[in-house]
Amino acid sequence: MFTGIITDVGRVRRLKQTDHGLDLTLATTFEIASIELGASIACSGVCLTVVSLEDDAFTVQASAETLACSTLGQWREGSAVNLERALKVGDELGGHIVSGHVDGVAHLRERRPEGESFRMVIEAPGDLLPFVAPKGSVALDGISLTVNEVTADHFGVNIIPYTLAHTSLGEAEPGQRLNFEIDPLARYVARLLDARGQTGAGP
């Protein structure tokens, strides 16, 4: 589990195609000695397993399915990657519950100044938009964000200067693809309502 609060922006150091998919070595400011092999780290919203360590970097593996369902396949050497280590019992939950299981890929349609912040208009897959609600939460490239408005084909989020400066969104331009995860609570509520509808159960 994660919270969507980014604690480092790493950079892709190496990419290596393998039989299982892709090995990605990511440079980081995390204390390498504190990372264990097998640890889970959210990499721009995708929960990946650490398979090796080196000075100021770690390597994770992405399967072919992960590459197909996320933006990882378009990463190149030097690409910025939002990093968050797994939540520990007792840690502060500063954002919202994020699983690291990406639901789909969204697109940045528009980025415009709005006061001291930026408004970003996001196109999301149509089957996922019903799970997005005004004042609700979403994760974009692993970042916990509050939804401002929702229409039939997009939603908007407001990005404060701190988030721009401390995540990869500072480099995001219209047309960019973003890993998108809906709020797990929205998924469970929808599932519960669907089950009640099928059984005709009362309140």
Token pair of 12, please?
């892709």
Domain boundaries defined on the chain: 8-85, 104-191
- Stretches in the chain below the pLDDT threshold 50: none
How confident is the model at residue 93, as a pLDDT? 76
Give the fold, CATH level 3, of 104-191. Answer: Elongation Factor Tu (Ef-tu); domain 3 (2.40.30)
- pLDDT tens digit string along 162-176? 999 999 999 999 999
**Rounded Cα–Cα distance for residues 155 and 108 (Å):** 10
The whole model's pTM is what?
A: 0.91
C-beta separation of 137 from 178 below 8 A: no
Q: Which CATH class is domain 8-85?
A: mainly beta
Q: Is 94 exposed, middle or buried (0-12, 13-18, 19+ CB in 10 A)?
A: exposed
